[in-house]
Amino acid sequence: MSLSYEPTSSAALKQLSSLEKPLSPLKPLPDLDKKEIARYGKHLLLPEVGLDGQKRLKNARVLIVGAGGLGAPCALYLAAAGVGIIGIVDSDEVELSNLQRQIIHREADIKRAKALSAGERMKSLNSLIEIKTHITRLDSTNAAEILGQYDLVIDGSDNFPTRYLLNDAAAFLDLPLVYGSVHQFEGQASVFWASKGPCYRCLYPTPPGPGVAPSCGETGVLGVLPGLIGCVEAAEAIKLIVGGAKSLVGRLLILDAWLMEFTDMELEKDPDCPLCGPKRTIFSFIDYEQFCDLDEPPELRAPGLTPLELQKRLKEGPPIKIIDIREPYERDLIKFFGALESAFVDLISHRSQLDPKVEAIVVCKVGRKSLFAIRALKKAGYEGNLLNLKGGTQAWAKEFNLEE
């Protein structure tokens, strides 16, 4: 499969209509049977959609990457809308903490593959559509093969390597990429289509440094927010398939759900973009983990213990002190007795409670913030040996079948 495309000139871009043409079908549009006509009647009443638009939805092949907070509402609405083939990519299993926002899953789905859980729920909502499940982690080795089966890609991921990978793969295959992201109370949505407008790299040329943009697991997210952004993504996908609407190509929609304020920003192609600019330098997939600097830089690296190793130390010695920097409500779920409990911001002032002669291990929820705590303690002059709990209390809960 050839993974290349020619960037569109800025002059040509200005001549593009603000109303998108429908995605080109790969075959003649299918007819609708009586059951489908009855089911999608409210769409057929809309002149902007009508019979032809519903046929295009039936003919469409859409890939949703991530069956989590963003993917859940998006998948349900695309299934309800009658998108003919919907693919779901996700390698994770359903956890109890997911149910606060990932409404496609149920309590009975805990510990099941998210892709299977989502696929079954979509099929139960609409038996007339086809579901493809990809229970795998999307990476450079399989992205072209998986994305190449679809007409449009929806980003429901929650990490930077996947976002940049999807952006590059979509550009190589000339596919529209419907983008969404959420953090605490703020959400963003756009459509990146390198041959028609800016790509994700035009907006974010490089990912933020380690610790600058913590995950939802570290900072939380208002449960309804992914639902709002996921619905925007579904709407954009439907509009791109049907055609004739103004899409988010070249625009960034920002939502502050706490203030309920929407901001619509105009985006332009970056002439220096290494992927879609005139002097592009990216022609193939890169190492996205390294590009996003997920490996701890030297100043953050610290030896660590797995949950099993820590449990053994606590039972058999030698003595080890636990420094718990989680939030108070998180400590109520999993308690480490005898630990130094301290908020991250107060940790330096509490270091006098530690004996440098006793090895200590820093504990947080996912094992990331604890690395920054170790660096902060060392910079403050703490001379004791500090370890990190690998994977944080999430890994601890999974290892010992605890609810977190």
What would the pLDDT profile of 44-76 be if each residue is shown by its tens digit?
999 999 999 999 999 999 999 999 999 999 999
pTM: 0.79
- Does 16 score more than 50 pLDDT? no
- Does 2 score more than 50 pLDDT? no
Active site residues: 216, 364
- Does 272 score more than 50 pLDDT? yes
pLDDT of amino acid 111: 93
- What is the average per-residue pLDDT within 294-303? 61
- What is the average per-residue pLDDT within 283-300? 72
User: CA 143 to CA 164: how far, in whole Å?
Assistant: 12
Domain ranges of the chain: 10-23+60-291, 304-399
Q: Helix, strand or coil for residue 35?
A: helix
Work out the mean pLDDT of the chain and round it to a whole number: 89
Q: How many CA atoms lie within 13 A of 145 on its CB side?
A: 8
| pLDDT category of residue 372 using cuts at 50, 70 and 90 | confident
Q: Which fold has domain 10-23+60-291?
A: Rossmann fold (3.40.50)
Please give the helix or strand (H or E) that residue 153 lies within, else none: strand 152-155
Handedness of CA 151, 73, 141, 177 (dihedral sign): positive
- Does 12 score more than 50 pLDDT? no
User: CA 364 to CA 380: how far, in whole Å?
Assistant: 20
CATH architecture of 304-399: 3-Layer(aba) Sandwich (3.40)
Residue where the block lists tokens 């213990």? 305
Token pair belonging to 333: 């779920």
88 — phi, psi (to 5°)? -125, 125
Q: Are 364 and 326 in contact (CB under 8 A)?
A: yes
Q: Which residue has the higher pLDDT, 401 or 149?
A: 149
Token pair belonging to 296: 């701890």
Share of the chain above pLDDT 90, in %: 74
